[in-house]
Amino acid sequence: MFYGIDYLYIVLVLPCVLFALWAQMNVKTTFAKYSKTSSGGMTGFDSARRILDANGLYSVGIARVSGELTDHYNPSDNTIYLSDNVYDKATAAAVGVAAHEAGHAVQHAVGYTPMKLRSAIIPVTQIGSNLAMPLILLGIFLSIRPLAMAGVIAFGLSTLFQLVTLPVEFDASGRALKALEANGLSGENLGSAKRVLRAAALTYVAALAVSLANLLRLFIIVAGRGNNRKNDR
């Protein structure tokens, strides 16, 4: 019921899962497409470094990381990690992705509220994710509806994390595009970088949609079990 396929899964969750799969494929194909578009000589490293220096973030490091689309900013060591296809590549895709990660570094430096909130709820979200299904299953098995609902609420914490992630990612992309334009990227090159960032943003929208659909499905199942017991009486 919870891990398999039922009517609610087909109606609520499956469309969102398909959207998420499409979003993942779309970001890969978009990145590959614009990895063939020149940035006019600016590499991913150059893009990130210029944005960092323009914001006085000289202490933020930039390092290479293996893998594809594994780029990220790590606030714990104050370092931006750029993948092989971004670090030293002078393409529109590379400068867009690198600028986005630099945007996260700027967010961290200025204390951007949604980013602080996301970081603060990570431990609670992890606990909630681990407890959600055991609480739901135990609550249903023992016929303790509040316990099962507590599991649904615990699952909702992961949905909250996805919700808070959206403004963080969209803001980072907005900062990236403004910085790239200020650094001379314009016309089709800027448009190409924008398309890459838009494709990446859709993956976060899709993740939120999947989480919301799963949350609604679990709520309906637990609430329905409670109503069925009342009707049996």
DSSP helix/strand/coil, 6: coil
The residue ranges of DSSP E strands in the chain, in sequence order, are 61-65, 72-74, 79-83
**What residue type is assigned to position 121 of the chain?**
I
Q: How far apart are CA 79 and CA 66, in angstroms?
A: 15
**What residue type is assigned to position 169 of the chain?**
E
Annotated active-site positions, please? 101
Rounded to the nearest 10 degrees, how much is the dihedral formed by the CA atoms of 176, 179, 180, 181? 130
CA angle at 71 for the pair 40 and 13, rounded to the nearest 5°: 120
Buried b / exposed e over 77-95, threshold 16 CB at 10 Å, is eebbbbbebbbebbbbbbb
Could you tell me the two tokens for 126?
Answer: 């992890």
User: How many other CB atoms are found less than 10 A from the CB of residue 127?
Assistant: 12
Burial level of 115, CB count in 10 A (0-12/13-18/19+)? Answer: buried
User: How many other CB atoms are found less than 10 A from the CB of residue 148?
Assistant: 24
